[in-house]
Structure 1
Amino acid sequence: MKISGNGEGGLAFVAVAQVGSIPEGEGRSFVVASRQIAIFRRGGEYFATSDFCPHMGAPIADGYVDVDGGVVCPWHAWKFRLSDGCWLDNPKSKTRLECFASRVVEGRIEVAVTPES
């Protein structure tokens, strides 16, 4: 994996995939800094989240992006907003899908995460 530049708080961005390699409305799973990360494509943008649903640990990359821009968990259909991880079924809940900074540089999708401790 190629590491480039600094992310928020000095985090390094890591190249994980090529632009266009993830179909619109779908997700793919990658290991970044020893963490399992899901990358989703919606409306030409890429979003990075934890690949584990906070409900029961389902692989969230196996879910799908609905028309409202939420990712739907493949096990129990919990829905989370891709931009901030808000649990859309209960927005007042503190339950969130962890999100990470992502960007596109020179045709590569890059993600900035800290390793799990």
Structure 2
Amino acid sequence: MANWQATVNENELQDSNPTPVTIEGQSIVLCKVNGEVAAFANTCPHAGLPLDGGHVDEDGVITCPFHGYTYHVCTGKNTTFETDPQLQTFPVRITDGKVEVQVEE
């Protein structure tokens, strides 16, 4: 079953600045891209290393700081090698200014 978990205030997020949070034991990154908030697993599917230190460009593509793999933070698409694993993303909504992320229990 999925549930919504409140995280940070939306106004705390800056464009293209990855912000790590922990939700129910999961490390998740929040990032605002062109005014839209995205949530994705803080784990590079390629090597299992954290992504929160990566750079997010204006198109919403994060570059893994360890091996250079790239992923679209809103869709999870692997933009380096399309046949390789995708980045896990999570549904997001804003409620009373709070960013809420939907996670599986």
When normalised by structure 1's length, the TM-score is 0.82
Tell me whether 1:112 sits opposite 2:102 in the alignment. Answer: yes
Q: Pairwise mapping of residues 50-65 of structure 1 onto structure 2 (< 5 A)?
A: 50-65=41-56
Q: Which one has the largest radius of gyration?
A: 1
Query: Partner residue of 1:37?
Result: 28
Q: Which runs of 5+ in 2 are unaligned?
A: none
Any conservation in 2 of the 1:22–1:28 contact (CA below 8 Å)?
yes
Cα offsets for 1:16-69 (capped at 9, x unmatched): 100121221111111112211111111111101000111112211211211222
Query: Partner residue of 1:7?
Result: none
Query: Partner residue of 1:82?
Result: 73
The RMSD of aligned alpha carbons is 1.3
When normalised by structure 2's length, the TM-score is 0.91
Tell me whether 1:19 sits opposite 2:10 in the alignment. Answer: yes
Q: Which has the higher contact order (CA 8 A, sep 6+)?
A: 2
**Structure 1 outlier segments of 4+, above 6 Å:** none
Query: Partner residue of 2:88?
Result: 98
Q: Distance in 2 between matches of 1:88 and 1:94?
A: 9
Any conservation in 2 of the 1:39–1:46 contact (CA below 8 Å)?
yes
Q: Distance in 2 between matches of 1:34 and 1:26?
A: 22
Q: Which runs of 5+ in 1 are unaligned?
A: 1-9
Q: Distance in 1 between matches of 2:11 and 2:29?
A: 15
Identity of aligned residues (%): 25
